Amino acid sequence: MTWRGTLPAACWEAHEAPAIIPVEAESTSNGVFLATHTSIPILLRDRVDSAVGGTIVNEHNLRRAVEELPADQPIIPILGKSGTGKSHLIRWLRINLKPNGATRLIFVPKHRMSLRGILELILEHATSERAAELRAKVAAASDAAADETTAQLRLRNELAVLVETRGADKDGTPEENDLRAFLASAEGLPALLGDPVFRRRLLADNGPIARLVREKLSGKGAEDKEDAFGFTAADLDLSVDDVSKAGVDAASVASALASDAPLRDLAAKMLNEQLGPAVSEVFGIGGDDLKQLLVELRLDLQRQGLELLLLIEDFSIFQGIQGGLIDAITLLPTETLALCPMRVVMAVTTGYFVNQMPETVYTRTYKVFDLELPADKTAPFDPARFAARYLNAVRVGSQEIDKHRTHDGPEPNHCLRCPVQEKCHQAFGEVEGVGLFPFSRTALDRAIRSQSKSDAFIARDVLTRVLRPVLHRDQTELDEGRFPSTGFESDFRTGALDILDNVEDQVRLRTPGDPELSERRVRMVRFWGPGHGPQNLHPTIHEAFAIPPLPDLITEKQTHLHETVRPGSISPSDETEEAPAGSPSLPPSSPLPAASKPPLVRAVDEWHKTGELLQRHRNDLRNIVHTAVIGYLGLEDGYGGDNGDWTKGGAELAPSFDAKTSIALDGSALQTALISIDHRNVEDVRVLRALAWLNAKESWEDVPQGDALQILCVNRVQEWADSVSTVLLPSEGDDAELGRLAHALLSVSKALGIADSYKGDALSRVKALFAGSPKLADPVQRPHMRKLQDRLVDPKADRNLLQQRLLRLTSYRQGAGKPLAIDLPRLVRAMRDDIAEAPWPEHVPEQIRKAADDIQKRTTMLDPMLDETRRLAPDVSDLGGDVAQVAQALNTLLSDLAALGQSANSINLLALHDAAKSVKPSDLKKVTDLREGLDAWPDLTVDQRLRLMNLDERPALRIRAWLDPTLQAVNALELKLQAGPASEAQREYDETIERLVSGLATLSREVMDVTGPEGGV
């Protein structure tokens, strides 16, 4: 059962909506057209060149003007913007004009009418031999241009030729003439039109060339604009992927057009000037042919004693051949040219008529009927009357309408057969016995307003954006109890922005436990309600939408009776009379009460609706929340201060509770904020809004619904305070998260080579968690180790994040003051090895867990560092003694040879002495231990490996600093001695050198392995 008994809740079939309200008005039958027709507001002016004055009339005045057109003023233009109803008037004339047998009527529709189709419409009425010749010419020419791609290319080429040969007009200003000469030159527009790189843009599907060709071959589609197709300045703001491949001239003119808007305007004008002759050349027929055809037809009809009536639904479809049409319709009969009388009614956009029609059209115009009313012209108009005609037609159905129209009977009123007619009309409203369900006057007004521009009533927008979507889409939603739908609210939201715009009103309309029903009730009151806040509407509206009223709300007994008759609208008492022509603007909406909400409250309401919040309002709201929460924390100096083991913590590392970083509106800092408030969370928004009220009024007594909101705020602020306390203040006992954090940071300290991290006592380990890292002695030789340490000490890296988190768990501060202390005993307990692998608690953010895991991975992947260390530590096992002994023997040998004049000039004894002196006695032992540790690498623990990687590398560097020049000296000496004759003394020295070289050879190879072919330190 529904509110209509056994009948469906919706009183129409969804499929009838697009049939009654199609995209193209010509798609409906005459019966449907007349069943839905409503008078359209028209401004009648006697002078074409006047934009002031005029009289408001209706379509009947238009019909009488057409019937009385004088022979010397045969033209009536119907002006207006797209969608204002020009085509509708032309069709109404077709149906209601009663031409006698002496009149031939030619109707030129705007949709699906090709160039050939236009000419054939005219040829249907021509019977002369000349007409037969023209008919053959039209057929042959259209067949020749039937290939759309070929026509596009030919039109582009013709435009290039015509611009180059005719474009340099000399009638403008000197500056314009110079620019025309440039654009018309071979290096100007012709170069651009002929360039293969710019071809894709110029021939794009949505470009003027393709659009014009498509129109001439197939006619305009419903999606095409009413204005005449042609070039615009935007079409010439060209860009391509690779300008370097374009011709020099084409690239140059394209660049000039892109940087100069007036030049683009002139270029578009020049191209449009040549469209007519270009179309004639491409399609084989043009304006002259059309003129000859119409003249021949008028001659033929004159011989038969007939007259011609031409109805043009959209004059812009004659683009390219309009000159011939204008010449033909402005041609008057003379004694030597016996033309039949001709009347022309053309629908044309205002801009086209004013800017592109020649003066001859103005002189032949009888009256102008304009659908755009100036601001000083108003007329009574009722949008509900307009909508009711379509609502009834959709309910009746197109077949039923046509059947009654065939029998010359009026279309039936579907409401007369409805079992709930009386209560439906009482609740939703009616116009002349036709109900407005599922709209009401209020809902319809808000829906129309949401789809209107500048409050102008555009008939097409009302039909295709308001009536058809609701009747087609929402019929099922209504039958299944889901109306008003989310689609309804999404489509028409802007028409009711200031109604139920705050969370408190919406909360009062909630049904606990049923959010879907609650949302539908809010939509219902927002669009169908009178705009006075939360309330029950007429019981029938609740029943029709399956939304039960709420017992604690007042009930608006008869919603539509509370809707005032606005200025410019038709009162209910007038609705039985013939409606005068309507106004093209919407009636003003009901005035809302003066804004009394504080600015911050309004800001919260807007934030809840849109998610948008000014930064200054965001800061103010954060401060309000911060102050409220501080009042519930109960902090005091010296918290935990009786414990003698507290120690001061670094202020820059301690956590804090401040408005800017600890409170996030819309979760912009969920990972770090202590309090996060989302504009989609109704309860949080209610609290924020109430606190904004309290901040403005300073007393709950002055806040609307203050008693209830005070309780709500107390509970929620206490929850926020508890949450802050849990994170901000140290807790007692062991903490698995704290243990994991401490050990992750300890691993970092070990990887950084911080000595305290390897000590056994917990206090040293705690110090190591925040200690600075020692620098590598030679970071160039250890790039992998340097990269690891740089990554770990980066202020934005994981170590800093974990330090902040650890301090949040162990430090304390009061309000906005500085950090006071660190709970050292608690932190020391966390350093125990038995909690290093404890499971992470569920509350720990994923970002923290990931940071700790990443640290563990990085501190265990040490193979690259192993290779670096091997290269740093030379093998000194074959040295044959410590460095000092070997250096002393070498220095003695070199000194003796120098005394005999046998030393090499390249050997620097002083440098060798200084390098040997810098080697410390313990260096050899440390390098030996390092090599032994590296050899045992597979058997070492992670901690042992980290410590080995962080052993002091300076001993190995000092040995290498001595060893490299030593080997160079030995090599130089060997070459020197080999060059002279051998003597007994020399043989002794040779033997000594050989033994020394043998002792150093192995070490030399090791060093070369480390340093590579370049050598050196």
Q: How far is CA 798 from the centre of its chain?
A: 33
Please give the structure tokens belonging to residue 630.
């501080």
Residue 721: what residue type?
A
Which is more confidently placed, 614 or 833? 614
Q: Which residues pair with 821 in a beta bridge?
A: 812
What is the predicted pLDDT for the residue at 518? 92
Mapped onto helix, strand or coil, the DSSP state of residue 498 is: coil
Please give the structure tokens belonging to residue 955.
């001993």
Secondary-structure percent of the chain, ordered helix, strand, coil, rounded to 5: 55, 5, 40
**pLDDT digit string, tens, across residues 774-811:** 777 667 777 877 777 777 777 667 888 888 788 777 76
* 978 pLDDT more than 70: no
Return d(Cα 189, Cα 167) in angstroms, integer. Answer: 10
Q: How far is CA 972 from the centre of its chain?
A: 74
pLDDT range class, residue 415, cuts 50, 70, 90 = very high
Region 606-610: mean pLDDT is 87
By the 8 A CB rule, do 356 and 228 touch? yes
Region 319-347: mean pLDDT is 85
* pTM confidence score: 0.59
Q: Which residues pair with 55 in a beta bridge?
A: 44
Q: How far is CA 152 from the centre of its chain?
A: 35
What is the predicted pLDDT for the residue at 980? 56
Please give the structure tokens belonging to residue 732.
């007692």
Residue 294: what residue type?
L
* 370 pLDDT more than 60: yes
Task: State what percent of residues in the chain have pLDDT above 90.
Answer: 17
Which of 780, 784, 785 minimizes the C-alpha distance to 751?
785
**pLDDT digit string, tens, across residues 542-577:** 999 999 999 888 886 544 433 433 333 323 333 333
By the 8 A CB rule, do 347 and 82 touch? no
Residues 6+ apart with CB under 8 A from 753: 773, 774, 789, 949, 950
Which of 952, 946, 951 minimizes the C-alpha distance to 749?
946
Question: 35-49, 510-524, 649-663, 816-830 — which is least confidently predicted?
Answer: 649-663
pLDDT range class, residue 835, cuts 50, 70, 90 = confident
Return d(Cα 347, Cα 76) in angstroms, integer. Answer: 9
Residue with tokens 């498509």: 214
Residue 527: what residue type?
F
Question: 183-192, 275-284, 595-604, 761-770 — which is least confidently predicted?
Answer: 275-284
Distances (CA, A) of 577 to 63, 373, 440, 564, 572: 21, 24, 21, 20, 10
Residues 6+ apart with CB under 8 A from 370: 42, 43, 44, 45, 54, 78, 79, 80, 350
By the 8 A CB rule, do 145 and 284 touch? yes
Please give the structure tokens belonging to residue 448.
């129309």
What is the predicted pLDDT for the residue at 634? 52
Return d(Cα 909, Cα 939) in angstroms, integer. Answer: 44
Which is more confidently placed, 720 or 915? 720
Please give the structure tokens belonging to residue 592.
């809302």
**pLDDT digit string, tens, across residues 451-466:** 887 667 788 888 989 9
* 714 pLDDT more than 80: yes
Return d(Cα 673, Cα 664) in angstroms, integer. Answer: 6
* 656 pLDDT more than 50: yes
Q: How far is CA 334 from the centre of its chain?
A: 64
Return d(Cα 70, Cα 55) in angstroms, integer. Answer: 20
By the 8 A CB rule, do 1015 and 1008 touch? yes
* 478 pLDDT more than 80: yes
Q: b/e per residue, 118-135, with b = 16+ CB within 10 A?
A: bbeebbebbeeeebeebb
Q: Residue 307 is inside which H or E element, if any?
A: strand 307-312
Question: 464-473, 567-576, 747-756, 894-903 — which is least confidently predicted?
Answer: 567-576
Which of 457, 529, 467, 472 minimizes the C-alpha distance to 492?
467
* 913 pLDDT more than 60: yes
* 638 pLDDT more than 70: no
Region 366-375: mean pLDDT is 85
pLDDT range class, residue 962, cuts 50, 70, 90 = confident
- Sort strands 434-435 and 430-431 into parallel, antiparallel or unpaired: antiparallel
